[in-house]
Amino acid sequence: MKDLDHDGAVPTRRDLLKTGAAALVIPLVLPATEAAAAAGAGAIGAYLKIGADNTVTLVSGASEMGQGILTGLAQLVAEELRLDWTQVRAEHAPATTQWPNPYGNPLFGWQLTGGSTSTRGWYAPLRQAAADARATLIAAAHQQYGGTWVAIQGGKLKQGAKTVLFSDVIATAAGMTPATGTPWLGTKRVIGQTVNRLDLPSKTDGSAVFGLDVKVPGMKFGSTVHGPVQGAKVKSMPASSGGYTLYNLGTAVGVLASDTWSAIQGAKAAANKVTWDLPATPANADTTALAAHASALVTSTTATTYVAELVGNPVIGPKAQKIDATYSLPFLAHATMEVMNCTASVTASSCEIWAPTQGQQFIIPLAQGITGLPPEAITVHSMLMGGGLGRKFETDYVAEAITLSKLSGVPVKLTWSREEDFKNDYYRPSALIRVQASLNAKGGIGAFVYRNVSPSIGLQRGQVSSNNPEDTGAVSGAVAIPYKMGARRIEYVPLDPCEVRLGYWRSVGESYNTFAVESAVDELALLAGRDPMEFRKSLSSDARTTGVLTALETLTNWAAGPGPGLGRGMAYLSGFGSYIAMAADVANVGGKLVVRKVWCAIDCGVAVNPGSIEAQIQGGVAHGMSATLWGQMGFVNGKPQAQNFNHYKLARMNEMPEVAVSIVASTAAPGGVGETGVPCVAPAIANAWAKLTGTRVRSLPFYPGATMAGA
């Protein structure tokens, strides 16, 4: 276990990206009584609260956005404390500026949720914490009652015929030095089971409180409107519009009203009265101009290039059997079901924030900057998220709510209109990727040269520089692939400048690199005259890769092939600490591609909650399919072209294929799941379509300009 060694400073995003499996020692404070927590003692650093009613509440540093993490992490605790599932509760931790952050993900130290890291990061530390809590409670019973005690099912302690509850000894336990290094029970009574999600009843009766649902006494409903193009700033504006005071937020204008609808209407009307400072170079946020620049860079011999991986000296001879294919993917919006929103209450001495957020780590420093208050005056409540998808890492909407409350002097619930949400995203970067590869004498891959040209998230955030563009995120999914590919060179060329605001979209770099890699591998298999499954199995350089490929082969009954009129394609990914292979059957219905069925075999190590894993993969397929067939955000001189779902089509019920999921039994450490289902969808579909029709689609989406009608 090694500390990040930052002298108490919060690490930068670059540190986050570079930190591998280093972990912080969890400063576990166990167990805190509810009374102690209410008094503030033990509220920070306490992972478990044992109530007077003998319920056990996990205080989770990871945020729930639909992935089921509160349930999954609570399962770890229930396992080691031998709890009945009905005793188990979970809630979000508060944000803190303590460093090390007691609620930071042990993988990288920060309190944020993303990169499919929560189960990976918390699995061992939380099991250990719960095991140590069990030992501490046993020791407390010994101290309180004498004799030898054991923990038994139901959160109880037993000595002969005598039984006491955890709650009977928590006062004693709170005064003891917590046990350390307690062996895990390892019985897997709860881990590996599809237990019911803790948050589900509340998500069927309207009682779940999402960010959008926060109610604070005396609050006003706010909305903001931003400039018409990327990067616009307020130049001048009237003091009021339509009877509403206008608030200048720099890049937006805010309106407060007695309800959200009035605020949205008021903000829209105000937008026409604002003069905006527009960026000097609109072409830098113009899809057509950016695509032309990318086309030049993808073949340029002089472009500034980051060689992310070099194995041998790949040379593609003139007589080699080879491919030279260029794949293109668009900018994408996150389009979470819940629009950006945040509630804030700022006074002269305090700031309270209710945010649907994946990025707690950033919020107190942000609020300090806006309010000038010390960190101890700032409280952050993490609300349930109506989807995060990477968008709710960002804090732009949180900053707007804090500023509106500060300027107006009243609590404010800020809600963006859907149009503002589409217009002001941190978009998934576009990508233009060229693959030049050749076969060797045995019909395997002899040389593989890969160039990704895409705008750089890292460059936009100052993590890398134009002349040293080591954006590791941009090539994730293209490097360290466990395939025998002969000599290879993996290059990244930043599409710079780019003034489209960029961000992390579910499955990040893999969302575009896996499309290029796995399409190219399919094209190479075709060139070699080999079956795509057999080809990949022959390329596999590790057992877990072979394992998921074989599992998919079995699941699909690969040798039998698809039914009449269908084409079957496949793809594979090692990513997020997991291995996945996916196949898709597609049909040609009047010239249009329809996805009929998708199969997935996943090896994500220990499967904490198989039902949740299945749900995440099914969801990943839906998300990936929407992006493959229809997803696209165009920009004309900085103006986002899709501003609501009518121009940003997503899969509906009737378009959703059946998804069969097979989880490969594994005792390896847990891998990530939330994003793992997304990247293989596009190549599996494109490969299936190529098989069915002979037409190779290298440019996504399949159907640009798709629209969606109302009810």
Binding residues for another protein restricted to 585-644, rule: CB under 8 A: 611, 615-616, 618-623, 644
The answer to the question of residue 401 lying near another protein (CB under 8 A) is no
Contact 104, 61 (CB under 8 A): yes
Our CB check for another protein shows the closer of 215 and 484 to be: 215
Sole window of 386-394, 514-522, 547-555, 683-691 interacting with another protein (rule: CB under 8 A) = 386-394
CA distances from 125 to 18, 103, 197 (A): 21, 11, 22
The answer to the question of residue 199 lying near another protein (CB under 8 A) is yes
Q: Which of 108, 221, 427, 576 binds another protein (CB under 8 A)?
A: 221
Least spacing, CB of residue 256 vs another protein, in Å:
12
Distance of CA 487 to the CA centre of its chain: 32
The answer to the question of residue 391 lying near another protein (CB under 8 A) is no
Least spacing, CB of residue 200 vs another protein, in Å:
5
3-state secondary structure 315-374: CCCCCCCEEEEEEEECCECCCCCCCCEEEEEECCCCEEEEECCCCHHHHHHHHHHHHCCC
The answer to the question of residue 118 lying near another protein (CB under 8 A) is no
Least spacing, CB of residue 123 vs another protein, in Å:
21
Distance CA 430, CA 511 (A): 10
DSSP 186-246: ---SSTTS-PPPTTTGGGTSS---BGGG---TTPEEEEEEE-SSTT-EEEE--SEETTEEE
Least spacing, CB of residue 142 vs another protein, in Å:
40
Structure tokens, 256? 């407060």
The answer to the question of residue 337 lying near another protein (CB under 8 A) is yes
The answer to the question of residue 243 lying near another protein (CB under 8 A) is yes
Q: Which of 188, 215, 235, 484 binds another protein (CB under 8 A)?
A: 215
Distance CA 672, CA 691 (A): 31
The answer to the question of residue 659 lying near another protein (CB under 8 A) is yes
Beta bridge partners of 233: 277
Give the CA radius of gyration of the chain. Answer: 26
Phi, psi of 337 (to 5 degrees): -60, -40
Our CB check for another protein shows the closer of 65 and 525 to be: 65
Which residues have C-beta within 8 Å of that of residue 97, sequence separation ≥ 6? Answer: 10, 364, 365, 375
Least spacing, CB of residue 334 vs another protein, in Å:
9
The answer to the question of residue 426 lying near another protein (CB under 8 A) is no
Q: Which of 41, 208, 410, 669 binds another protein (CB under 8 A)?
A: 208
Contact 629, 412 (CB under 8 A): no
Our CB check for another protein shows the closer of 490 and 615 to be: 615
Q: Which residues, numbered 510-569, are part of the site for another protein (CB under 8 A)? A: none
Q: Which of 103, 110, 244, 331 binds another protein (CB under 8 A)?
A: 244
Distance of CA 481 to the CA centre of its chain: 21
How does DSSP classify residue 465? B
Least spacing, CB of residue 249 vs another protein, in Å:
21
- Write each residue from 130 to 169 as x if it is in contact with another protein (CB under 8 A), else as -, in one continuous string: ----------------------------------------
Sole window of 77-85, 185-193, 254-262, 398-406 interacting with another protein (rule: CB under 8 A) = 254-262
Distance CA 3, CA 24 (A): 5
Q: Which of 9, 238, 259, 557 binds another protein (CB under 8 A)?
A: 259
> Can you tell me which residue has the tokens 């190590």?
605
Beta bridge partners of 281: none
Q: Which of 109, 155, 386, 494 binds another protein (CB under 8 A)?
A: 386
Contact 91, 60 (CB under 8 A): yes
Q: Which of 177, 653, 667, 694 binds another protein (CB under 8 A)?
A: 653
Our CB check for another protein shows the closer of 186 and 705 to be: 705
Q: Which residues, numbered 356-375, are part of the site for another protein (CB under 8 A)? A: none
Our CB check for another protein shows the closer of 94 and 611 to be: 611
Our CB check for another protein shows the closer of 214 and 495 to be: 214
